[in-house]
Structure 1
Amino acid sequence: MRIIHILNEVQEIGNGIVNVAVDLACLQAKSGHEVAVLSGGGEYETLLANYGVKHYQLDQTRKPINLIKAARSYQAIVQEFQPDMVHAHMMTGVVLAALLRKKGGYGLVSTVHNEFQRSSIFMGLADRVIAVSKAVAEAMTRRGISQAKLRVICNGTLGSPRSRPLQEYEPLHLQRPAIATVAGMYHRKGITELIAAFEQIGSDFPEAHLYIVGNGPDRHEFEAQASQTAVSSRIHFEGFQPQPQRYLLACDIFVLASHREPFGLVLSEAREAGCAIIATDVDGIPEALDNGKAGLLVPAKDSNALAAALVQLLNDPNTLQEWKAKAHQNLEWLNVDRVHQETLAVYRELFPER
């Protein structure tokens, strides 16, 4: 099968959409398919080339003149590559692929990563729409996408071609007990509530430290918030880290305090590393945590509930170890190869003979 993936860029900046698409492209090429990625480029071009994935430069910046150029470039690439399947991971790509598809041409599949964005409704232009969690599929159904088109393929990152086996990473020497999050620095990631919760428990656990790993446009606001707390010296902003596994292996508690989260790729990595996990009970997070069996679930936007969960784990070493063990169970389904195989099954619905 000849497969094209379209996304905005392939930069190594911790973007979950990029990570999913790169994983799929590499594994599809490894299994013998002809695969190309169309994007604005980035660090993952080298990895893609190592797996035999062809990369075409396609700037999809949403400006009228640029989009006209992108449409012309896209048509030329399709003419050259002759895909059987086009898999779009973002809105501009699916619109281009749908509008410029000739009758009897390729099949079109889209993956909905961030359903909460209004533009996600355009992903319904595809023949099949993959939702990264049951929660995302239900939300897309409410927005009018036909259930006949929708398929659920939950995210999974374990065994990703983007990373080494976990045992090959050297844990960092963090001050413990160490609490960590790995997230983009956006308000929807709940960093405000995490800082507030840590301040709330700080005096009771004077040895605890908070490590915030990630970058983004709201980082300065979070740093300003942290600087005003009595525990500012114990809150560490680590920025983007290409090897977040080193933090996960070293921390005691991992927190994902998102307001909205289609699935949360980092949760599978935190589980593999054996962290005790606290996360918000929103969207696809419960699915990623086996509906609360693999991590404590708390309401979103509630720093008091988050603080109470931290206290529960920090107060009792046995409880902490129990939740670490629970997180590390039932990991097989989070393997990236399962995502790869289920995605190929969706393609074959459109082209059974291939």
Structure 2
Amino acid sequence: MNVLHLTLSYSSGGRREAIATLVDGLNALGVGNHLGCLETFGCAADKRSMYAGSFSLGRRGLFDLAALRRLGAYCNEHAIDVIHAHDAASEATAALALPWRGPSLLMTFHRSRDFETARFRDRVRNALVGLRVSAVVTASEERRRHFIERNYGAKGKVSCIPLGIDLARFVPDPERRARIRRRVGAADGTLLVGTIGHFGVDKGVDLAIGAFQDFLRRRPGRDACMVVLGSGSDAQARALRGLVAPEFADRIVFAGFHPDPETWFPGFDVFLHGARREAFGLVLAEAQACGVPVVAARVGGIPEVVADGQTGCLAPQATRQALADALDSLVANESVRRDCAGRAIDHARRHFNRDRYAEAYLQAYQGR
């Protein structure tokens, strides 16, 4: 079987991580994988080395006839059996390029926001394209319900396949733990809280920073510091740094963007995630696999990823006060935090296994 993964671009982020992990698993199952980008790749060539072939269309719009012909020709030349679209634009482009014949078409709905379902015309487009699509897959039941509620069409085509992670990559590692803690100046007894995300509104890095400072004000004697990993525009970075009170300037470290979060997670004692919206929360699965309990809000697909009271603590809403309460609750008793850390590893291995993820998609490709 040959699968073409079609997406807007392959730039860094959670979507690329989800696609790459799936492709690794499918490669192990003997599936041939190809990558197509509607616009530009947005990444270096080595990031595409796992694919049997890759191309960018550089399309100028939905009805770019030359781009549509190139897509159809690629599918014919490489005997593509399934087009796996990873966004609504890719789904629509594939349906226009091959409206009545050719590979079967499946779409994964990755969005945490309503961009692809918000307007009436979006829903009409989805319904029309849905006539060509054999299946729509979401990463969480919350997103599955959202897609069904906001769209017209066959509900029976929409299913949920939770994301998977590379469990050989995301593991507890004492050497990495020691190295990261030395790097940020955290002693053995220091509570090291980590947060990771784009500096935009949705990922709530501002809420995580605010909640951590509220926690420090409640526990003035607590030896604790925070590491912030991620990036954004210059204005977003300045705004986040401006949230740090002078008295906590030496306890919150902005470490920038790093493409290897697996080297950072083992150093954390708690992962604090302030997301206001989250379709799944891949970073939460990765943290738990490394033995890091999670504090986050009960939004989107997060309750399906974090077992509240077992592998972390979920706040009822995404506010700095609620997140500070949850952080305080989790770390109030060190034995409770350690128990959560141990259960987090088992939880991740049981529920977010890459092989399970790939096998479920292979069955979806085969129409089972």
TM-score where L is the length of structure 2 = 0.85
Q: 1:156 aligns with which of 161, 164, 174?
A: 164
Point out where structure 2 has 5 or more consecutive residues left out of the alignment: 118-122
Quick one: structure 1 residues 311 and 254, their matched pair in 2 at CA, closer, same or farther if it must change by over 3 Å?
same
Tell me, in whole angstroms, the C-alpha distance in 2 between the residues paired with 1:152 and 1:44: 31
Point out where structure 1 has 5 or more consecutive residues left out of the alignment: none
Whether contact under 8 Å (2:313, 2:330) holds in the other structure is no
* 2:106 counterpart SS class: strand
Whether contact under 8 Å (1:159, 1:337) holds in the other structure is no
Tell me, in whole angstroms, the C-alpha distance in 2 between the residues paired with 1:168 and 1:10: 33
Tell me, in whole angstroms, the C-alpha distance in 2 between the residues paired with 1:82 and 1:168: 47
Tell me, in whole angstroms, the C-alpha distance in 1 between the residues paired with 2:126 and 2:294: 32
Does 1:312 find its partner at 2:329? yes
Q: What is the aligned-residue RMSD (CA, Å)? A: 2.5
Tell me the percent identity. 23
Whether contact under 8 Å (1:112, 1:123) holds in the other structure is no
Tell me by how many angstroms 1:96 deviates: 0.4
Map of 1:134 onto structure 2: 141
Residue correspondences, number: 342
Map of 2:340 onto structure 1: 323
Question: Which residues of 2 match residues 101-250 of structure 1 at below 5 A?
Answer: 101-120=98-117, 125=129, 126-145=133-152, 146-159=154-167, 163=169, 167=173, 170-171=176-177, 172-173=180-181, 174=184, 175=186, 176-203=190-217, 204-217=220-233, 218-226=236-244, 228-250=245-267
Q: What is the letter of the counterpart of residue 216 of structure 2? A: G
Tell me, in whole angstroms, the C-alpha distance in 1 between the residues paired with 2:126 and 2:308: 27
Question: Which residues of 2 match residues 277-316 of structure 1 at below 5 A?
Answer: 277-290=294-307, 292-316=309-333
Map of 1:75 onto structure 2: 72
Whether contact under 8 Å (1:260, 1:283) holds in the other structure is yes
Tell me by how many angstroms 1:17 deviates: 1.1
Tell me by how many angstroms 1:322 deviates: 2.5
Question: Which residues of 2 match residues 93-108 of structure 1 at below 5 A?
Answer: 93-108=90-105
Tell me by how many angstroms 1:68 deviates: 4.7
Map of 1:264 onto structure 2: 281
Q: What is the letter of the counterpart of residue 219 of structure 1? A: A
Tell me by how many angstroms 1:324 deviates: 1.7
Tell me by how many angstroms 1:25 deviates: 2.3
Tell me, in whole angstroms, the C-alpha distance in 2 between the residues paired with 1:219 and 1:153: 34
User: Alpha-carbon deviations, 1:78-105, whole Å to 9, x = none?
Assistant: 2322311100002221110011114232
Tell me, in whole angstroms, the C-alpha distance in 1 between the residues paired with 2:353 and 2:291: 16
Quick one: structure 1 residues 77 and 179, their matched pair in 2 at CA, closer, same or farther if it must change by over 3 Å?
same
TM-score where L is the length of structure 1 = 0.88
* 2:155 counterpart SS class: coil
Q: 1:28 aligns with which of 18, 23, 26?
A: 26
Whether contact under 8 Å (1:133, 1:262) holds in the other structure is yes
Q: What is the letter of the counterpart of residue 8 of structure 2? A: N
Tell me by how many angstroms 1:185 deviates: 1.4
* 1:19 counterpart SS class: helix
Quick one: structure 1 residues 188 and 65, their matched pair in 2 at CA, closer, same or farther if it must change by over 3 Å?
closer
Whether contact under 8 Å (1:129, 1:150) holds in the other structure is yes
Does 1:348 find its partner at 2:366? yes
* 2:247 counterpart SS class: coil
Q: What is the letter of the counterpart of residue 28 of structure 1? A: L
User: Alpha-carbon deviations, 1:49-104, whole Å to 9, x = none?
Assistant: 3x4521112335xx449945532432332232231110000222111001111423
Tell me by how many angstroms 1:245 deviates: 1.7
* 2:280 counterpart SS class: coil
Runs ≥4 residues deviating over 6 A: none
Does 1:334 find its partner at 2:348? no
Quick one: structure 1 residues 32 and 186, their matched pair in 2 at CA, closer, same or farther if it must change by over 3 Å?
same
Quick one: structure 1 residues 209 and 156, their matched pair in 2 at CA, closer, same or farther if it must change by over 3 Å?
same
Whether contact under 8 Å (1:26, 1:48) holds in the other structure is no
Whether contact under 8 Å (2:313, 2:327) holds in the other structure is no
Whether contact under 8 Å (2:280, 2:301) holds in the other structure is yes
Tell me, in whole angstroms, the C-alpha distance in 2 between the residues paired with 1:184 and 1:287: 22
Quick one: structure 1 residues 85 and 219, their matched pair in 2 at CA, closer, same or farther if it must change by over 3 Å?
same
Tell me, in whole angstroms, the C-alpha distance in 1 between the residues paired with 2:115 and 2:207: 25
Q: What is the letter of the counterpart of residue 180 of structure 1? A: G
